[in-house]
Structure 1
Amino acid sequence: MSSRYNPGSLKGKSIPSPNRRQQSQVSTNSASSTSVSITEQQRQEIYEAFSLFDLNNDGFLDYHEMKVSFRALGFELTKKELLSILDTFGEPQENSKKLIKYDDFYRVAATKILERDPIEELKRAFALFDEDGDGLITFDNLKKVVEELGEDIADEDIYKMIDEFDLDDDGGINEQEFIDICTE
């Protein structure tokens, strides 16, 4: 299974909504001077990842909490990258370790989200479906995902989904077909 954070995994857990200050919009200016912002859903995911892994509820993340929070958001950061973030944004504590507060974690996470390559994200998503690594999302792959999500979709409907998007009739959805489906 993926190490990607799943907002559905929080069912039954009480996590407060971010306040307005915590929901501040992060924008970047590209060469064309257009402003790009993260979505409300992405803001909520950042907040939930922070809240979920702020294990002692002190409003700060230590190195290990920050590492799993970024992993939950889909980022596999190296030790060097994590330490650099703490060096830049961390607040020193009495025991000489640094902690990152929510606003700074949000700023870094939102920037990383904006820097993602959408095609690379789709390729990673494809790999989650293609668990056997054969380059195809087959009936068995899709059936397993449907079961894991607790959905009640008839086998006939799963076959129809595969058939509809399997443009080269190889019995499954290949990576390019998957990308085409998601970008249409």
Structure 2
Amino acid sequence: MKIVALRALGFDVKKADVAELLVQHGEEHAERLDFQTFRKLVAEMLLSRSLVDEHRRAFQLFDVMDQGAIDFVTLKRVVRSLNLDIPDEELKDMIHEFGKDGLIREEQWLAIMNAD
């Protein structure tokens, strides 16, 4: 259950990672974690993430087809799933302004997200 909860929060962890975290916090033999300990673990993990890591994670959420790029169809699908009302022309403009060949790749996404 610990690994499922951490993955649901966006952490790409393996069982060994979770076991190491538990050892670091003196919980290696715990059948269940209390909420305070779990909260402390998650807070530490969140603080250890960099802004670039967060931007990559956001890109992966948009790249639902795992193609390494966001195209118009994918962007439209994500916008629709978020119940946003953005006209197709605006979405196409976003893709063409920030992407090449009708695609926004991860490096372009990171440049957009890190722009001042």
TM range (shorter): 0.7 to 0.9
Structure (1 or 2) with the larger CA radius of gyration: 1
1:174 partner letter: R
Shift of 1:75: 1.3
* Counterpart residue number, 2:6: 70
The structure carrying a bigger strand percent of its residues is: 1
* Counterpart residue number, 1:106: 39
Matches within 5 A, 1:6-25: none
Matches within 5 A, 1:1-184: 64=1, 66-87=2-23, 88-90=25-27, 98-166=31-99, 169-184=100-115
Q: 1:124 to 1:91 in 2, by over 3 A?
A: closer
The structure carrying a bigger helix percent of its residues is: 2
2:5 partner letter: S
Identity of aligned residues (%): 36
SS in 2 for 1:171: coil
Q: Distance in 2 between matches of 1:124 and 1:91?
A: 29
Q: Which runs of 4+ in 1 moved over 6 A?
A: none
Single out whichever of 154-163 and 75-84 deviates more from structure 2.
Answer: 75-84
Shift of 1:91: 9.2
Normalised by the length of structure 2, the TM-score is 0.79
- CA shift digits 1:31-81 (9 cap, x unpaired): xxxxxxxxxxxxxxxxxxxxxxxxxxxxxxxxx1x2222112111322233
Q: Distance in 2 between matches of 1:67 and 1:135?
A: 26
Q: 1:109 to 1:180 in 2, by over 3 A?
A: same
- CA shift digits 1:153-180 (9 cap, x unpaired): 21111112212222xx421212121101
Size of the aligned set, in residue pairs, is 114
Q: Distance in 2 between matches of 1:174 and 1:83?
A: 35
In structure 1, the gaps of 5 or more residues are: 1-63
Shift of 1:89: 4.1
- CA shift digits 1:106-146 (9 cap, x unpaired): 22111111112332332232233223344321111100101
